[in-house]
Amino acid sequence: MRKLIWQELARESPIIMKEAPTLDMALERLAQAVARLESALARRGGAALSAEVGEGSAELQRALDDARAEYAKLSEVTGLVSQRLDRTINRLKLVLEK
């Protein structure tokens, strides 16, 4: 689905599309990193993690928190980019209709 959206946008606005694949790839990598961290936490067990005071588990929790914070920021940026693209597409449609 994303690929079709990017292809459509690339035809309508190639200038905007220069950064879009990079952003999409960054979001994908971040989602994969968060999934790996959550999987590692699940394997170690929630109760075991809270009972364990070692530096390794604290470091893992910090990394997960950092990844979630970065994901939230990127999600916000993606929303802004989406809004701008929608406005640009609508303006292009108006220009093409004239």
Q: Where residue 88 falls among pLDDT bands split at 50, 70, 90?
A: very high
Model pTM above 0.85: no
Q: Average the pLDDT over 8-23 and give the result.
A: 60
For the stretch 27-45, pLDDT in tens is 888 888 888 888 887 777 6
d(CA 14, CA 74): 22
Contacts of 2 (CB under 8 A, 6+ apart): 24
In this predicted structure, the answer to whether residue 89 has a pLDDT above a threshold of 70 is yes
Which helix H or strand E contains 18, and what residues bound it? Answer: none
